[in-house]
Amino acid sequence: MAVDALDSRILRILLEQPRTSVREYARALGVARGTLQARLDRMERDGVITGTGPSLSPAALGHPVLAFVHIEVTQGHLDDVGDALAAVPEIVEAFSITGGGDLLTRVVARDNAHLEDVIQALISLPGVVRTRTEVALRERVPHRMLPLVESIGRAAGN
């Protein structure tokens, strides 16, 4: 889906002021509320906007340890292992990847001992051959979308 200059402005204000009403967004952007709502609906339908919930901090929820676990899977078992990962609450993301391993997971834990328990549970899943874990020391660039939206807006003539 092509994002035009108005879409970019809408996305920017959503990211900068996530708890504002549609009416306030429309006023701030100088567009009709109906126009704004139609654009929001289209971007949701097209998968540009994927959620509106709060961002949560695993550390503030008692899980300050962050690790990236690469999982090598027996051929033909990728879907089964992927489905099993969804049942592990400490896995906050999982991706099929190329390169070293078949899956990359983002895992949170209460402490290093808890992380070891999670990794041991992953190793015991049917179809898992081996894992490789990298523990994050410090977040250098937090998850963000605003710079990308701004870049797209500039390219669209905003």
The mean pLDDT value for 128-144 works out to: 96
In a domain, 10, yes or no: yes
In a domain, 63, yes or no: yes
Residues 89, 118, single domain; the answer is yes
Q: What domain count does the chain have? A: 2
Q: What is the pTM of this model?
A: 0.86
CATH number for 11: 1.10.10.10
Q: Which domain holds residue 33?
A: 5-54
In a domain, 76, yes or no: yes
In this prediction, residue 100 has a pLDDT band, given cuts at 50, 70 and 90, of confident
Residue 7 CB-density burial (10 A; 0-12 exposed, 13-18 middle, 19+ buried): buried
